[in-house]
Amino acid sequence: MSLKDRFDKIRSREKKEGKDVDDLSMKQDQQKQLFDIKTNIHRKLIEQLDLKGLEKLKDEDEARSIVKNMVSAIIEKEKLPISGMEKMYLIQEIENETFGLGPLEPLISDPTVDEILVKGASQVYVERFGKLELTNVIFKDEHHLRQIIDRIVSRVGRRVDESSPMVDARLKDGSRVNAIIPPLAIDGSSVAIRKFKKDPLKAEDLIRFGTLTKEVVRLFEIAVKGKLNILISGGTGTGKTTLLNILSSFLLNSERIITIEDAAELQLQQSHVVRLETRPPNIEGKGRVTQRDLVRNSLRMRPDRIIVGEVRGPEALDMLQAMNTGHEGSLTTVHANSPRDALSRIETMVLLGGENLTHKVINRQIANAINLIIQITRYSDGIRRISTISEITGMEGDVITLQDIMVFKQKGISQQKTIEGYFEFTGIKPGFMQRFEESGILNSMKLQTDYLKEVD
């Protein structure tokens, strides 16, 4: 069947269903037929296109212009009876297939979408305003989806295949990507893309969202500038990295900052930032560089601050030792449901390194290293909130002692299904504030004492 016949078939079906031929929202079966047309045009484009010459063009707009003209010529040659809107749609789709992420490209450019979750070739979900919803976006088949995955991971020098079926990568804008393919993914390849905001969220944005208050921001500023070691704890998708970015905004521009991540996500604005990223093993199983390797190496790089995107393995011990040996003001995150769970997870990670340390020794390392634990939680209304800010005060026997500085008090649920509550300081003056006052740090930073008034 020719391209013209295939397009005529789509048009006749649209007319039978009483749809406008210029309506670009098509059902999935119609999208699959359109995929065949796009695939054929795309194949003809590749046959005529000098891909190597196209790659040498520094201006992407110029390359897109070339592709646009060639696609228009193919459409005219095939004599496809399409309207101007349909032609623009086809050209845009083929440009996305050639330069971007195919069907995902409109979701990538949609500012209301926070996460994109692909479940096989025929189901794509997005998260908007904290809620998941199914879209009408589909891939032609599993092979088409795998092509897009390969395009993503190859751009950052990684691979995904049967011997290495899981991969972490990132898009050129910094958005984080995780992909897992069959046989591990039973129902087809799965992709999770956590988008980065073009304009990073600021503290004012989180105040507007209800994540925290001005007084909490002031406390964070004092803690970061006073070089406390801070651990951000929370579940998946609670906004740990976003909060870490905001805490990093209080770092001085004169400081040398080393960041260590599995996939680079942090968006620090300071001028002296050295960004390090782990590396998976090559096809021979060699050349792997872990977070633990990078943490150890960072100690030789004369850091003023060390920021680990997330501790998730044996590097936890090296991070604790760095905090205990003159690298104050370090920041990191961990997956945990409460401050106490966070401490247990770090202890478990230290043991994963095979170190012959007792429970008491590990806890003493943790108590001496970490000053503040910030717990962030995503509530049922989709809003992320700081639920607890806790200070580590020392040890009683073998147990690390914590005291809550601030907690979020939930009162109920409104008619709009949003959580109602308020942030409450416990009235306990943190031990580090007394230390800051005695050492003159507060005066040297010229910080106002609004927070002190709050707890007095």
Structure confidence at residue 21 (pLDDT): 41
Q: Residue 239 has what pLDDT? A: 87
Full residue range of the structural domain in which residue 225 is found: 203-455
- Verify that 359 and 306 share a domain, yes or no: yes
**How many Å apart are CA 169 and CA 150, to the nearest integer?**
11
The mean per-residue pLDDT over the stretch 178-205 comes to: 88
The region of weakest confidence among 315-324, 401-410, 430-439 is 430-439
Q: Which of 152-161, 386-395, 419-428 has the lowest mean pLDDT?
A: 152-161
State whether 288 and 214 are in the same domain.
Answer: yes
My answer on whether 292 and 381 are in the same domain is yes
Specify whether 211 is located in the same domain as 146. no
Average pLDDT, the chain: 81
CATH code at position 143: 3.30.450.370
Residues 233, 332: contact at Cβ < 8 Å? no
pLDDT tens-digit series, residues 51-70: 545 555 556 666 667 777 77
Average pLDDT of the residues in 235-250: 90
Pairing of strands 372-378, 230-234: parallel
Comparing 7 with 379, which gets the higher pLDDT? 379
Q: Indicate the burial class of 355 (C-beta count within 10 angstroms; 0-12, 13-18, 19 or more).
A: exposed
- Name which of 81-95, 140-154, 317-331 the model is least confident about: 81-95
Query: Identity (one letter) of the amino acid at 300?
Result: R
Judgement on whether residues 81 and 118 belong to the same structural domain of the protein? no
Residue 19's pLDDT band (cuts 50, 70, 90): very low
Does residue 443 have a pLDDT over 80?
no
The reply to whether 15 and 163 lie within a common domain is no
- What's the rounded Cα separation, in Å, for the pair 135 and 233? 31
Q: Which of 146, 179, 197 is the last residue of a domain?
A: 197
Q: Identify whether residues 218 and 252 lie together within a single domain.
A: yes
Do 146 and 62 lie in one domain? The reply is no
Query: Which one-letter DSSP state was computed for residue 165?
Result: -
The predicted structure's pLDDT at residue 109: 86
pLDDT of residue 60: 63
- Please give the residue that has the higher pLDDT: either 456 or 351: 351
Strand order in the sheet with 176-180: 131-134, 124-128, 115-119, 190-194, 176-180, 166-170
Reported as a single tens digit per residue, the pLDDT across 20-60 is 444 444 455 556 566 666 667 666 666 666 554 555 555 66
pLDDT of 93 over the 50 cut: yes
Question: Which residues, 6 or more positions from 268, have their beta carbon under 8 angstroms from its beta carbon?
Answer: 245, 248, 251, 257, 259, 307
Structure confidence at residue 20 (pLDDT) = 45
With the CA atoms of 353, 355, 361 and 363 taken in that order, what torsion angle do they form, in degrees rounded to the nearest 10?
10
Q: What number of other Cβ atoms are within 10 A of residue 199's Cβ?
A: 9
> Do 283 and 411 fall into the same domain?
yes
pLDDT above 70 (res 321): yes
54 and 148 belong to one structural domain = no
Q: Kindly state the average pLDDT of the residues 413-438.
A: 83
Amino acid (one-letter) located at 263: A
Highest averaged pLDDT of the listed ranges 75-79, 94-98, 136-140, 209-213: 209-213
> Containing H/E element for 9?
helix 3-16
The last residue of one of the domains, among 166, 197, 228, is 197
Of 81, 99, 117, the residue at which a domain comes to its end is 99
Residues 310 and 433 placed together within one structural domain of the fold: yes
pLDDT value at position 26? 46
| Whether 390 contacts 403, CB under 8 Å | yes
Cα torsion angle, 73, 75, 79, 81, sign: negative
Residue 253 has pLDDT above 50, yes or no: yes
What average pLDDT score do residues 104-114 get? 88
Q: Could you tell me the CA-to-CA distances from 83 to 8, 75, 79, 88, 102 in Å, in that order?
A: 12, 11, 12, 9, 22
| pTM, entire model | 0.74
pLDDT at 22: 42
The CATH number linked to 272 is 3.40.50.300
CA 216 – CA 161 distance, rounded (Å) = 46
Residue 12 has pLDDT above 70, yes or no: no
Domains: count for the chain: 3
pLDDT above 80 (res 423): yes
On the question of a cis peptide bond just before residue 183, with omega within 30 degrees of 0, the verdict is yes
Parallel, antiparallel or unpaired: strands 124-128 and 131-134: antiparallel
Q: What is the reported pLDDT for 34?
A: 65
**Which amino acid is present at 21?**
V
170 and 272, same domain (yes or no)? no
Alpha helices of 17-163 — where are they, by DSSP H?
28-48, 51-56, 60-78, 84-99, 105-108, 142-154
